[in-house]
Structure 1
Amino acid sequence: YGQDRVQELKDQLNFPFLAGNVIDNEWEEPVFDAIHYAERGGVKIGIIGQAFPYTPVANPRYKIPNWSFGIREETVREHVATARQAGAQLVVLLSHNGFDVDRKLAGRVEGIDVILTGHTHDAIPEVVKAGKTLLVASGSHGKFLSRLDLNVSNEGVTDYRYKLIPVFADAIQPDPEMTAVVNKLRQPYEKELARVLGTTESLLYRRGNFNGTFDDLICQALLTERDAEIALSPGFRWGATLLPGQDITLEDVYNQTAITYPHAYRLDMTGEQLKLILEDVADNLFNPDPYYQQGGDMVRVGGMGYRIKTREKMGSRIHDMTLLKTGQPIEPGRKYVVAGWASVNEGTQGPPIYDVVTRYITNQKTVSIPENSSIRVIDA
């Protein structure tokens, strides 16, 4: 939403907003607070906040032109020292780094007792230990709650007990006050959000390293509605699953596509450019150094197949790119009509992706997604 909107929302909060790794480019000063102190069971806790370090890379830089991000390992080390000097007996890092990044960070920065790690959307049933640091990952979409009980003494954390608790929404009595707030906010839009566009015969999900059936649906919509040969869709990890036989509502489409840079572009790309895109995203995922991994999943493709060797170096992972409608190899020098969305480039033109997908589902009425066998992992 941009930095001005973030500041506006932050000022409305009645709880701390922590992001110690965000720096103002002009003044070279922190934009937000880094540490909050709390007391539980007689133990003073220092809570350090860490924003997604690759925000200007994975999202439009033009929306946050005055801020810089990064893992900032040394800054985290300084925040830990500050918390300890202030008397914190327990130091918790509330992190959007991603699990693998946090695991590496825990092995390089001493003094962090617990990392509540996010971004990758993974729910891990047990605590993962990195040295003396406990890493907790609670998943996404409110599907789980984590409970971590700690014994803390002058020697630090001496014992712990952990439980990943599934949340069964239909077995929990909603809080009346919160329900009233939600209903009030949704009321002006409820009828339109509930509008049925069609029905799915397939399980529509997003999470898969290389594809998901809802992503395949988005790619089909781009190919058809934007009259393209090849479709590209980002490997986002958010969006709720729909079951076979379930209606697809407008809200379901928004759940998978609602971002502030939604334009569905249509342009020419050479085969060489397509390979560079796939290689770049693959390196974000499979680089052996976690600090070079930005999270998410592989860019989704429609109308094209390929094979991938995930253990190879950047530039050598993608092989046998094929145009599916002809079965012919993608030629490096030939131009192809490509449709995609979520470009981080300023000035991208095209209809919003949610309108593209809505139109496609409405025209199809019933959606059926065949098994996707166009991508093959060929690691030995």
Structure 2
Amino acid sequence: MFDALIRFIREQYRSEGFIPLHAPVFAGREQAYVGDTIASTFVSSVGAYVDRFERDMAAYTGSPRAVATVNGTAALHMALQLVGVGFGDLVVTQPLTFVATCNAIAYCGAEPVFVDVERRTLGLCPRALETWLTENARLDDDGLCRAKADGRIIRACVPMHTFGHPADLDGLADVCRRWRLALVEDAAESLGSFYKGRHTGTLGEVGTLSFNGNKIITTGGGGMILAGEALGARAKHLTTTAKQPHPYEYVHDEVGYNYRLPNLNAALGCAQLEQLEAFIACKRELAARYAAHLAGSDLQFVVEPADCRSNYWLNAVICESGAQRDALLQATNGAEVMTRPIWALMNRLPIYAHCRKGDLSNAEWLEARVVNLPSSVILPAA
């Protein structure tokens, strides 16, 4: 049933062997920069490449500040703390996401609230958010958003840009503004994606990126906080163990975190970032070929939202049914072409099954039908 798709994928990757879902590509100055770091002996949390990676990322995204962290989850944990999320708070997010989104909320002692996604963007739906808040929340005399049921503060909203496709940020920002919620963008998957000309992660109070080994560029592990000058400076302080500058004394003025990205990893990131636009061009070309191949078939290819530029981090199709999804997964993986289902909804996990939720019809529909196809960068043949 899926033989034509399997042949098409093998033709794209020019391989009869195992084809991974998303593999890193090291085609630039990675070895030179990492070698330079080793030669300098500054391989840990201090070094010229950390500073450069932060500067280059701020310049690329248009963010006033960029603060490197050890991974994307640490970046999101820090971002939530920066906007005041604390013990007992509620944070609205989407159930269709990777578990790290919810884990970062839990690290703060807060609890996720699950609101439905849009089928169009796969991201948090502003209309569903408005509906849930109208039915379940109120603004108190101090302007705090509180749950009607028990008075707990609803502090923030965390949309995730699924597979690199931007969520409806205008709609979400409007709802968050009226309900006094901090908008924190989980842009882990969307480096290089733009919403109406602005980079994802720069439209809320804070945004975060990930450079895990499977992302569009990688530092091995790593993340980045995107913020304004004031919050960025505070993020840098807290992620470097809250140590006060001093030539030799150890003075820490509050509880901080050792969330620093090592210079060794930052060197890899600098080399990868130099190739980002070339990687995106290759990925967008691959997406266009997938879309053309699947046109007229019973698999719906997921395309970028209007007025957006997606990095097409992971290509995805929507199957007609759960049975077709299972058949596609079995056929492709059985042929050593790696495909993956979308994540199980977070509210189905035992650790988050007790959390509040709205109607999740779209998320449930997508969970049963979405499959990711191989999406590694294919460089032009030499």
TM-score (norm 2): 0.29
| Larger proportion of strand | 1
TM-score (norm 1): 0.29
| Larger proportion of helix | 2
